[in-house]
Copies of this chain bind each other. A is one copy, B any other.
């Protein structure tokens, strides 16, 4: 039996594929020289993929190519995806969790199609009301898991409870040394604040947290996401998407303003040389490529979506995320957490 972690990669999804996808694998191999516990099932145009693999001198013992003749385009909509994307590199990479031995699927392709096809092929876990999209978000101490980032516009209290249980499982899988601390995103921290749905979810999570899978910290405001007290931030897909994109826009606005300030005067141009290393560290800490990879939670198999426009380093971080998810037994942890909530909904 194969005990390796088998990652199915849609090598054709996203910009500059399969170049960045294969280079991402090459970076992963360099960073994990001592490990032998992984293997890649690669989906896409065999000739193109081979060319890239040769360029990076990647040993044949780490991969198998499965030729797929079509690619899901960025213009494809979720409505027609099931019909049009069959046998594409994305479809086959997902399907390999069912028909082959893949443990997880990674794609940088069309998000809507990836979600719809994953849901159809892998199916939603029986006790999960709605699957969710989770992402990593930096905080002062380490990292948050935040969900839902946009899969579900309307959510009820049971959805939020499911998200909490699955988010806590993801956090534990990724950071086994820490204990998941769940908080619901709200406009105030007092129990009386917010919508009726949030109040109901609050009451249920208070009960469920007694099973010991996670600590429940109650409500958290948007400005507290970064303080690292709670590490699993739960919200509906509408709010989560707005919060994520507002944060992204804020980071861009500030770094652009900073850059403009620093390059404006001759004196400050000199200062850049001096602060080069400090700013490099600053940039590296906030490098969005480190947080690249959103995880579909609630399906019978895990699927990771990389940003389409990321580069090889960003794609490497998604591969690393896939590796850690399987290594951390995400699926078992989700099942265990969900069993606690089942009687409380």
Name which of A1-9, A27-35, A81-89, A277-285 contacts chain B. A277-285
Assuming the contacts A194-B238, A247-B247, A275-B271, asked whether A286 and B257 have C-beta atoms less than 8 A apart, the reply is: yes
- Cross-interface CB contact of A261 among B138, B250, B285, cutoff 8 Å: B285
Q: How far is the CB of A248 from chain B (nearest CB, A)?
A: 5
Is the CB–CB distance between A281 and B252 below 8 Å? no
Interface string of A235-255 (1 = CB under 8 A from B): 101110111111111111111
Partner of A275, one of B138, B256, B268: B268
Count of identical protomers in the assembly: 2
B-contacting 9-mer, from A219-227, A293-301, A333-341: A219-227
Give CA–CA (A140, B265) in the complex, Å.
Answer: 20
Contact between B248 and A246 (Cβ–Cβ < 8 Å)? Answer: no
Is B285 a contact partner of A257 (Cβ separation < 8 A)?
yes
Q: Mark A178-211, 1 if CB is under 8 A from B, else 0.
A: 0000000101000000110000000000000000
How far, in whole Å, are A248 and B243 apart by their CA atoms in the complex?
Answer: 11
**Would you give the shortest CB distance from A245 to chain B, in whole angstroms?**
3
Of A139, A195, A249, A255, most buried by chain B (CB within 10 Å of CB) is A249
Interface size class on chain A is: 35 or more
Contact flags (1/0) for A86-124 with B, using CB distance below 8 Å? Answer: 000000000000000000000000000000000000000
Tell me the bound Cα distance from A223 to B243 in angstroms: 9
A57 within 8 A of B: no
Contact across chains for A261 and B282 when beta carbons are under 8 A apart: yes
B278 in contact with A252 (CB, 8 Å): no
Report if A62 contacts B (CB, 8 A).
Answer: no
15 new A-B contacts at CB < 8 Å, known A242-B243, A261-B285, A262-B279 = A140-B253, A187-B245, A221-B245, A222-B244, A222-B245, A222-B246, A223-B245, A223-B248, A243-B246, A251-B254, A258-B258, A261-B278, A268-B275, A271-B274, A274-B274
| A-B interface, 3 closest residue pairs, ranked by CB to CB distance from nearest | A222-B245, A271-B274, A268-B278
